[in-house]
Amino acid sequence: MATFVIEGGKQVKGSIKVNTAKNSAVAILCASTMIKGKLILHDMPKIEEVNRILEILSSIGVKYDWLDDHSLEIDSSAKLKLEKIDKDACMKVRSSLMFFGALSARVKKYKLYRSGGCKLGLRTIRPHLFALEKMGINIESKDDHYLVENGKIRGTEVVMYESGDTPSENTIMAAAMAKGKTTIKFASANYMVQDLCYFLNKAGAKIKGIGTNTLEIEGVENLNPIEYSIMPDPLEAMAFIALAITTNSKLLIENCPLDFLELELEKLRVMGQEFKLKNKRLSKNKKFNIVDIEILPSKLTALPDKIHGMPFPGINIDNVPFFVPIATQAEGRTLIHDWVFENRTIYFLEFSKLGANVTLLDPHRVFVEGKTDLKARELIAPDGIRPAMALLIGMIAAKGKSIMRNIYVIERGYEDLAGRLQTIGVNIKRIDD
């Protein structure tokens, strides 16, 4: 475990560039096993979540090579050896569940160890099971693993039990190489789902309706090796937006995927936040609208309505925690409703240790009273990537010396965070314990 040491209470300045989307990267890495041959993924983030997926891929016979800092060559042409799968790596990342769909056309029977990831209460895999079983995939839950048997994978009509990102991705990957046509209704249209679909289509899949909640997929026999650039991360963009606002700073945040931030920005505009959108363009893969967002020092007032996440195009569910440090700097009372996860709202109470006025109403709702001067503290990172990053933002805004321990959870999703924050004036050091 490592530690962040922060001397906070100062404004940030200059510009910072948004890196690649973690959730896109891990989905596309899992999908790479569907392609027999060498493919190249550009803008691959060097984060712990990616490292764990690469450990899993390597353990089952997939070869990979870093061509440069962020270009990764993947070769899944060899026979996959699921009996040698890395148990420890599987158990650390929930994204390993996406092998259910990715391997459906390649491996008849295998064992996948139960996954870990953020500890956010009960996170059922039933939406995966209900969808995949309709296509001929049988998944039996054991004490520490899932026993997977892939029959003749066939296209069908699937109504998603819930509009979840990972269940939708699993169903899409299974359908891409199933025999016949699959219609997926109530699919997630979130950014990582779209990115996965564009990747698969470039490789030869036939997916229609990308960006909507109804997908039509005609199965193909093979997918082709390609080069693909992964999209920027809207969640990292929102973290830097929250950092600039909480520290009342002027900051240019470059490489932001606008379509997945528009509602967040509108809520902030109504709160009184000033910002400018600059340099509109297309992403490297030509599929997403990109802008640079300049955040300006502003006086904020709490919204009269609650902040709550929803499936796209609502406020991104994983952006909800970033409104907590923002709300501490807004005059009035903000209601934040984090309804999706059973335990994540509990982590928001950590802001009370920084001097914030946070009241827990129930397992899913908090009141945040502002405006508050935050104070430095020594804390352990919450066991969720976005709550931990949100708390770090509060510590950067707090006057004095703060220490955040056990920062692995943040490093699952953010590359070289301390080094990048230093370039915009944050006094932060990463120390190995």
Mean per-residue pLDDT, 301-314: 95
> Under a CB-based contact definition with an 8 Å cutoff, are residues 14 and 292 in contact?
no
pLDDT score recorded for residue 118: 45
Q: What is the DSSP secondary structure assignment for residue 230, as one 8-state letter?
A: P
**Alpha-carbon span 314 to 219, nearest angstrom:** 30
pLDDT score recorded for residue 340: 84
The β-bridge partners of 138 are 149
pLDDT score recorded for residue 119: 47
Mean per-residue pLDDT, 171-190: 97
- Pairwise pLDDT comparison (163 vs 238), residue with the higher score: 238
pLDDT digits (tens, 9 = 90+) for 358-417: 999 998 999 999 999 999 999 999 988 999 999 999 999 999 999 999 999 999 999 999
CA distances 289 to 224, 231, 285, Å, are 26, 10, 10
pLDDT score recorded for residue 337: 95
Q: Is 238 strand, coil or helix?
A: helix
pLDDT score recorded for residue 116: 58
* β-pairing verdict for 38-42 and 378-380: unpaired
Domains within the chain, CATH numbers bracketed: 2-19+232-432 (3.65.10.10), 22-229 (3.65.10.10)
CA distances 368 to 86, 238, 316, Å, are 43, 19, 19
CA distances 14 to 244, 249, 296, 338, Å, are 11, 10, 12, 32
pLDDT score recorded for residue 221: 94
pLDDT score recorded for residue 121: 43
* β-pairing verdict for 300-301 and 330-337: parallel
Mean model confidence pLDDT for the chain: 94
pLDDT score recorded for residue 115: 74
pLDDT digits (tens, 9 = 90+) for 235-254: 999 999 999 999 999 999 99
**pLDDT beyond 70 at 87:** yes
**pLDDT beyond 70 at 267:** yes
Share of the chain above pLDDT 70, in %: 98
pTM listed for this prediction: 0.95
Residue 76, sorted as left (phi over 0), alpha (psi -120 to 50) or beta, turns out to be alpha
pLDDT score recorded for residue 113: 87
Q: Confidence band (pLDDT; 50, 70, 90) for 8? A: very high
pLDDT digits (tens, 9 = 90+) for 106-138: 999 999 988 754 444 444 688 999 999 999 999
pLDDT digits (tens, 9 = 90+) for 49-78: 999 999 999 999 999 999 999 999 999 999
**Alpha-carbon span 343 to 364, nearest angstrom:** 8
- Pairwise pLDDT comparison (301 vs 129), residue with the higher score: 301
